């Protein structure tokens, strides 16, 4: 599916890029090269290939998922200009 000049101009407009008319043929060639490479990738047989996180085999580092309440309400609100029951007090801005 080759890209024509109208498509290049439309892509540039959608990407909010200012492209001169003299640069359109160059960009058209570049986009066509990229699409040709992607089509080559579609020819690769990836059946029975598991997804990888890296090209080298490794296990993901995981931490214990534990819920804590923090317990730092006094420290968090200590420097607040005004607080009440461990909450920040702010002026009302919406009527």
Give residue-wise pLDDT tens across range 49-71: 888 878 887 787 888 888 877 78
Measured between its terminal Cα atoms, the distance across the chain in Å is 57
Domain boundaries, the chain: 5-42
| Cβ–Cβ under 8 Å, residues 25 and 9 | no
| Cβ–Cβ under 8 Å, residues 31 and 8 | yes
**pLDDT for position 40:** 92
Q: Is 0.85 surpassed by the pTM of this model? A: no
How many alpha carbons lie under 13 Å from residue 36 in its C-beta half-sphere?
A: 8
Q: How far apart are CA 29 and CA 85, in angstroms?
A: 65
Closest CA to 24 of 34, 36, 13: 13
């Amino acid at each position: 599916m080759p890209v024509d000049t109208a498509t290049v101009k439309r892509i540039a407009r959608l990407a909010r890029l200012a492209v001169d008319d003299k640069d359109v043929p160059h960009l058209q060639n570049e986009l066509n090269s990229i699409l040709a490479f992607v089509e080559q990738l579609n020819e690769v047989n990836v059946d029975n290939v598991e997804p990888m996180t890296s090209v080298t085999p490794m296990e993901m580092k995981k931490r214990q998922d534990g819920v804590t309440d923090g317990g730092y309400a006094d420290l968090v609100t200590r420097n607040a200009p005004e607080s009440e029951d461990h909450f920040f007090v702010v002026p009302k801005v919406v009527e």
